[in-house]
Structure formats: structure tokens, C-alpha cells
């Protein structure tokens, strides 16, 4: 080979090497992006994974519900990817709905959450919800009512315009953190297939180290959200004689640890708008009624939580620097039952 030909050969070889960087990629129009995932399990039949997927067509997009089954969630996702005529990209999933039966099995639930957190397949910011409904029914209803616009469902759980403060919002990473927490339990939204709506919200399931051990109502979830710095704006309270909407909220706290007995005091300020009231009813009575209802709701939740050793509000987080590290594991059994909490609500009228 002459020197001249050798240079030509090397130039062609280097060009082929440089231009081959995308040889194994598929075009974007050959990809499908599942938006919602459902996970369930039937005894010995293995895991069942259901996906709601927009599908590209010549004249636009359609959407369909796809189901797979296998020994692990990872294997099912793999099978769906292999058997699909498109490249399946799970990185756009925004909502994961888990059947309640899995949630009551601590080992199963921990395994699922750890996989979702560590696999890199699904965004860790995806929201988690629990259902006691049939998973296929829930996703079929989502597909029927929203179709390719299922991303609008994500706004249902995300704080913003139109968000209801009675709805809990819990991403994968937060559920994962709670698996190892000595000082905080969490609430996860409970949903069902809606009759006239996409979903019906039924309150929140309480998860303690990956196991469902209780449930709270939508009104109780709103109290929970206040202590998660989610605020209460938009919440409407209706009594026999009046309707009130919360337009602003703020929460201040003080803590004290004396002789291994923890104490907390909270002051909740609520800016309210009176939507309607009976003639002759003064504003002071309306404010007092609202303050009493919210205070009683909180104390009832606290009483039940301490009785069951569930730190739903995460009060143990306030004392992490007050308790020796090796004793944090004893928070729920040693310190929390003796926790004293003073909770006061102050309602004031806005735009008066």
C-alpha cells in the first residue's frame, strides 16, 4: 500500500468512527412514553404491571392500556419493552398507582419502592398513590377520559393553581426516605376510578417504614399538609350557618426538651374569606367556629397517632438534634408517647 493510499484509508476509517455515534439510537417518532403505571400482585401469579401509553399514529396519536406479568416489576417492564413494536421509554412516568394489598405487605412494598428509586427507569419525582380498586379499571378510566392528555393528571397532585389542599402529594423519593426513618411517617393519596371524573380521592393511607397501617380523611389530610409546609390556601369549610374559604396560612412553632420530655407549641394563622353566612351572624362567631373545628381535628389526629405510635406529623424531626443519635430509634416508643403539643389557631378576615 502506497503512502498516499494509506492516508486515504485512515481518513475514511476515522470518518466512519466519528459518524457512527448514534448507530444504536431510535428516532423519536419510534419511541413511546408511558405516563401512568399501575402495580398489583395476585398471590402466586407474580407482579402485574399496567401502563397507560400514548401511541404515535400517522394521523396523530392514540393511547392504550398495556399489561404485563412476571416475577418482578423489573422483569415485567423488560418484557413490555422487548415485545413492543416501539422503543419504550419509562422516564416520563409521572404517577404510579400501587394496589393496597401490596401496601399492607411491608416486605413487598419495600421491594417495589427500592426498585423504583434505584433502577433509573422511572423518575424519582413521580407521584405515588394507593388504590383498593382494580388497577386495570383505574388506568382504563384514565385512558378513556384523558387519553394522550394524561399528563394533565399530574397537576391533580402538584401544588399550583387549582390544587386542593386536602390532597396529599408524595413522590417516590419521599416514600423511599420514610422506609428508614425513625422520626417521621408519611401519608400517600388513596384513589379509585371515578364515575363522573377521572379519579375519586378517598383520603390518605399512612405508611410506616413501608407498610400501610392506617388511613386519614381528606379533611385530616389537609391538617397533615399544613405540617408539611403545603399550606391550606383554597380549603373551604362549610358549617350549618356559614361557608369559609382559607386564602392564606402560616405556621410558627417552638420546641422544648426538659428531662427527656419533649414539648411543642404551634400557632397557625389563617387568612379567611367568608363566602356566605346567615343574616345577623357576626364575623367573630364564624372565626371562633373555624378555630375550634381545626383545633379539635388536630388533637383527635394527635391522640390516635400517639396511641398507635405513628408520627404522622413528623414531630420527631424537630428533636433530632435534641436526642442522642443512638436513641433516635426509640423516638416512637420512648419519647413520642409523652410528647406534649399545644396547638392554637388564629383566624382573621382578609380584604375587609
Query: 272, 347 in Cβ contact below 8 A?
Result: yes
Which comes out higher in pLDDT, residue 31 or 160? 31
| pLDDT level of residue 285 (50, 70, 90 thresholds) | confident
Reference 232, options 185, 290, 174; nearest CA is 290
Residue intervals of the chain classified under CATH 3.30.300.210 are 230-352
- Give the Cα separation of 61 and 28 in Å (integer): 14
Q: How many CB atoms lie within 10 A of CB 293?
A: 15
* Percentage above 90 pLDDT, the chain: 50
pLDDT > 90? residue 97: yes
Tens of pLDDT, residue by residue over 201-217, are 999 999 999 999 999 99
For the segment 226-248, what is each residue's pLDDT rounded down to a tens digit? 998 887 777 778 877 788 888 88
Residues 290/321, Cβ–Cβ less than 8 Å: no
The dotted CATH code for 230-352 is 3.30.300.210
User: What is d(CA 188, CA 154) in angstroms, rounded to the nearest whole number?
Assistant: 15
- Find out whether 125 and 172 touch, Cβ atoms under 8 Å: yes
CB contact set of 283 (below 8 Å; sequence gap of 6+): 274, 349
* Distance separating the N- and C-terminal Cα atoms of the chain: 94
Mean pLDDT score, 167-175? 92
pLDDT digits (tens, 9 = 90+) for 16-35: 555 444 444 445 557 888 98
Q: Give the cell for residue 52.
A: 397507560
pLDDT bin (cut points 50, 70, 90) of residue 145 is: confident
Per-residue confidence at 259, pLDDT binned at 50, 70, 90? Answer: confident
Amino acid at each position: 500500500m502506497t503512502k498516499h493510499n494509506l492516508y486515504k484509508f485512515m481518513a475514511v476509517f476515522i470518518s466512519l468512527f466519528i459518524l457512527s455515534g448514534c448507530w444504536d439510537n431510535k428516532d423519536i417518532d419510534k419511541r413511546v412514553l408511558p405516563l401512568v403505571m399501575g402495580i398489583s400482585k395476585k398471590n402466586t401469579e407474580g407482579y402485574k404491571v399496567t401502563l397507560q401509553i400514548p401511541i404515535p399514529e400517522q394521523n396523530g396519536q392514540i393511547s392504550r392500556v398495556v399489561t404485563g406479568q412476571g416475577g418482578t416489576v423489573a422483569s415485567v417492564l423488560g418484557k413490555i419493552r422487548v415485545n413492543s413494536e416501539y422503543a419504550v421509554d419509562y422516564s416520563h412516568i409521572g404517577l404510579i398507582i400501587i394496589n393496597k394489598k401490596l401496601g399492607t405487605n411491608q416486605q413487598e412494598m419495600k421491594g417495589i419502592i427500592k426498585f423504583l428509586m434505584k433502577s433509573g427507569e422511572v423518575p424519582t419525582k413521580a407521584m405515588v398513590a394507593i388504590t383498593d380498586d382494580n388497577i386495570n379499571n383505574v388506568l382504563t378510566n384514565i385512558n378513556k377520559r384523558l387519553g394522550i392528555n394524561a399528563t394533565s393528571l399530574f397537576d391533580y397532585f402538584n401544588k399550583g393553581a387549582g390544587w386542593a389542599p386536602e390532597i396529599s402529594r408524595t413522590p417516590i423519593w419521599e416514600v423511599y426516605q420514610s422506609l428508614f426513618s425513625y422520626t417521621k411517617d408519611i401519608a400517600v393519596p388513596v384513589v379509585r376510578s371515578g364515575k363522573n371524573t377521572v379519579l375519586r380521592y378517598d383520603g390518605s393511607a399512612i405508611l410506616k417504614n413501608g407498610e400501610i397501617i392506617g388511613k386519614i380523611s381528606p379533611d385530616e389530610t389537609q391538617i397533615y399538609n399544613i405540617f408539611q409546609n403545603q399550606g391550606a390556601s383554597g380549603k373551604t369549610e362549610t358549617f350549618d350557618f356559614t361557608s369559609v374559604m382559607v386564602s392564606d396560612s402560616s405556621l410558627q412553632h417552638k420546641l422544648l426538651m426538659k428531662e427527656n420530655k419533649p414539648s411543642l407549641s404551634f400557632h397557625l394563622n389563617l387568612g379567611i374569606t367568608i363566602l356566605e353566612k346567615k343574616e345577623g351572624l357576626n364575623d367573630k362567631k364564624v372565626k371562633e367556629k373555624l378555630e375550634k373545628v381545626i383545633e379539635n381535628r388536630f388533637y383527635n389526629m394527635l391522640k390516635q397517632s400517639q396511641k398507635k405510635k405513628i408520627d404522622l406529623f413528623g414531630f420527631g424531626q424537630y428533636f433530632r438534634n435534641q436526642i442522642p443519635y443512638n436513641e433516635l430509634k426509640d423516638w416512637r416508643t420512648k419519647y413520642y408517647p409523652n410528647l406534649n403539643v399545644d396547638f392554637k389557631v388564629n383566624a382573621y378576615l382578609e380584604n375587609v
